[in-house]
Amino acid sequence: MGHRHQLTDSVIQVNHLSFKYTSQYVLEDITLHVRKGAFLGLVGPNGSGKSTLVKCLLGIQTPQQGDISLFGEPLKKFSGWDRIGYVSQKANSFNSGFPATVFEVVSMGLYGKIGLFRFLTKKHKQKVYEAIEKVEMSAYTNENIGNLSGGQQQRVFIARALVSDPDLLILDEPTVGVDVHSVQQFYTMLKQLNQEHGITLVLITHDIGAMTDYVTDVACLNKHLHFHGDTDTFTESENEMMSTLYGHDVHMLTHNHDHSACEVPTS
Amino acid sequence: MISVFFQYDFLMYAMFTGIMVGFLAPFLGVFLVVRRMSLIADALSHVTLTGIAFSLLLGRHFSLFQGLNPLYLGAGFSVGASLLIERLRNVYTYYKELAIPIILSAGIGLGVVFISLADGFTNDLFSYLFGSVVTITQSDFRLIAAITLFVSGFIILFYKELFFLSFDEEQAIISGMPKRFIQWMFIIIVALVIAASMRVVGILLVSSLMTIPVASAMRLAKGFKQTFIYAVIFGEISVIVGLVASFHLNLAPGGTIVMIAVLILLITLFFTRGRHT
Ligand SMILES: Nc1ncnc2c1ncn2[C@@H]1O[C@H](COP(=O)(O)OP(=O)(O)OP(=O)(O)O)[C@@H](O)[C@H]1O
Ligand SMILES: [Mg+2]
């Protein structure tokens, strides 16, 4: 769990972050470091604050305490938003009657980069086609997004996150509604992006069993950060890790997800 | 048939204004519909009437207002109401549509008070209620042309931002789209387009010109850009055919235009039946 890296190697640095929506803290004293090139699996039960943590990272929510740096820059000064791709948990709960083609949706991923008063150039369009190709949706380029299946829509949103060539890709439960075969393909694709293209990845998932074959690091969250380390350390102690993190729901949860869970180190 | 429109000035103004509105209303209407704001057009059109009534009322008492085109105050009221609606939508985050009946009824209430304060201009008002394209003046024409240029320019320049924010607000904000600015400008523009369109189809039918061509377009279009193209084509067909038909058959232009738009919708519904949108 390398804490002291060079600043330039740091993609995400969170220090003593606490956050509450109303009166109760949903995140407390989180300190987390994600180095360049990591593929982090972020797990935890429902309501444990995973999505909230990501929203803090992206500046959608502002934590009451603590500070965040992205690519070595404090969040307040950070401006390189086009370096970050994000697929939110609600990505496919958009208004499904919206008349937009796959091409149009994916090109949105470039809008931040293009800037005001400018339009898509040939080069941009080429990038869009490539991103669609990457998620194997080329056959649907000019189809309305509302006419696709849930899993296909999810792929389109991933393409949108990829199209700007991000250095960091944050995916909040991207495989919900994606079939088993496609999930494996999808994880393989992520691993490729991570290893061959050097993209740093943060993947939120409940699918702990499948995830451990692909990620390099695991973080377990339940209001507090209970564990953060490399995948081997995680799997070694995995079976003892259950109960504190998942509490009494652990049996139900593990039942649903083959084998899973995290532990609170007794330290 | 159509050539008569270019022989007389007043008919030429009517035709040109109609063509502008036939473009403008559905063009903006696409965004209204996808943002689920089509009813706002209704509320704002009624407030526009309130402003017009107020202007006519002032005109009876102050000579200063006699020469003023009532459309200016109408547009002013409409812009003011649009800002109020936006405010209310932020207050009732989970019941955004509540802003519409509040403004709609407040607008009508105030309008009725103005009208009762000075009865006698019912003829004028009547022409605003149902549109009176043949009485369009050069001043109306200029105002509507200016609105058309401004609104089209804005939508084209901020197309990316409008599109992204309408589709997926959270992602759009993360990507740095200026949400607040766009939202305020958008609602102001809606108010302006309503003021421009009401000369042609009248207050009661303004929102139909912004939504019906879009409803037809959404049945046929693949993607967002195509939706605009179809919506504008249907809008223009409705206005031009409607104007010509109403002139030759001596019908109310506003109503005829809207009936043509409805006819187009029925035809597209018929040919796309079984498809869900
Ligand atoms: N917008 C909000 N307003 C108030 N409370 C919220 C809001 N969003 C989330 N919460 C609360 O914050 C806590 C953490 O929610 P969060 O969505 O981060 O959990 P999560 O770990 O992503 O869960 P899941 O696995 O179900 O996606 C929950 O208790 C939730 O009730
Ligand atoms: Mg979540």
Listed by number, the residues of chain A in 85-104 with a beta carbon closer than 8 Å to a beta carbon of chain B are 86, 88, 90-91, 94-95, 97-101, 103-104
Interval between CA A26 and ligand 1 midpoint (Å): 8
Q: Which of A25, A30, A51 to mutate to test the pocket of ligand 1 (most atoms within 8 A of CB)?
A: A51
Q: Domain boundaries in chain A?
A: 10-88+168-246
Rg (CA), chain A: 19
Q: Domain boundaries in chain B?
A: 2-271
Q: Is the pLDDT of residue B255 over 50?
A: yes
What is d(CA A263, CA A245) in angstroms, rounded to the nearest whole number?
A: 6
Crossing angle of helices B38-61/B179-201, nearest 10°? 60
Residue A65 has a pLDDT of 95
Residues B38-65: what's their mean pLDDT?
A: 87
Residue A50 has a pLDDT of 95
The shortest C-alpha distance from A159 to chain B (Å) reads 14
Q: Is the dihedral of CA A125, A127, A128, A129 positive or negative?
A: positive
Residue in B closest to A56 by C-alpha: B174
Residues with CB under 6 A from ligand 1: A 21-22, 26, 44, 46-52, 89
Indicate the pLDDT class of residue B122, thresholds 50, 70 and 90. low
Buried b / exposed e across B257-270, counting CB within 10 Å, b at 16+? bbbbbebbbeebee
Residue A260 has a pLDDT of 41
Does domain B2-271 fall into CATH 1.10.1060.10? Answer: no
Contact A174, A154 (CB under 8 A): yes
Token readout for B273 is 């039946």
Out of 3.30.420.40, 3.40.50.300, 3.10.310.30, 3.30.1360.20, select the CATH number for domain A10-88+168-246: 3.40.50.300
The shortest C-alpha distance from B176 to chain A (Å) reads 6
Residue A37 has a pLDDT of 93
For the beta sheet containing A25-35, the strands, ordered from the edge strand earlier in sequence to the opposite edge, are A25-35, A10-20, A65-70, A73-74
Residue with the smallest CA separation from ligand 1 atom 18 is A49
Residue A240 has a pLDDT of 63
Task: Name the least confident of B95-99, B106-110, B183-187, B258-262.
Answer: B95-99
Determine what percent of chain B is predicted with pLDDT higher than 90: 47
Task: List chain A pLDDT tens, one digit each, 267 residues.
Answer: 444 444 568 999 999 999 999 999 999 999 999 999 999 999 999 999 999 999 999 998 999 999 999 999 999 998 888 899 998 887 666 677 789 999 999 999 999 888 778 888 899 999 999 999 988 899 999 999 988 887 788 889 989 999 998 999 999 988 777 777 778 888 888 898 899 888 999 999 888 877 888 999 999 999 998 888 888 888 777 666 655 666 654 444 443 443 344 544 443
Of A81, A90, A143, the CB nearest to B174: A81
CA atoms within 13 Å, Cβ hemisphere of B207:
15
Contact B194, B50 (CB under 8 A): no
Indicate the pLDDT class of residue B75, thresholds 50, 70 and 90. confident
pLDDT digits (tens, 9 = 90+) for B128-184: 888 888 788 888 899 899 999 999 999 999 999 999 999 988 888 888 889 889 988
Q: Is the dihedral of CA A64, A69, A75, A77 positive or negative?
A: positive
Contact B100, B38 (CB under 8 A): no
CA atoms within 13 Å, Cβ hemisphere of B75:
19
Q: Which ligand is nearest to the CA of A48?
A: 1
Contact A231, A40 (CB under 8 A): no
**3-state SS, one letter per residue, for B161-179:** HHHHHHHCHHHHHHCCCCH
Residue A267 has a pLDDT of 39
Long-range contacts of A2-8 (CB under 8 A, 24+ apart): A2/A33, A2/A35, A3/A33, A5/A33, A5/A35, A7/A72, A8/A72
What CA dihedral angle connects B112, B116, B122 and B128, to 10 degrees? -20
Contact A209, A258 (CB under 8 A): yes
Count of CB atoms situated within 10 Å of the CB of A31: 13
CB pairs under 8 A between A and B: 82
Q: Which residues contact A163 (CB under 8 A, 6 or more apart)?
A: A106, A107, A109, A110, A127, A128, A130, A131
The shortest C-alpha distance from A102 to chain B (Å) reads 8
What is d(CA B130, CA B143) in angstroms, rounded to the nearest whole number?
A: 19
DSSP per residue over A3-57, as a string? Answer: ----GGGEEEEEEEEEEESSSSEEEEEEEEEEETT-EEEEE--TTSSHHHHHHHH
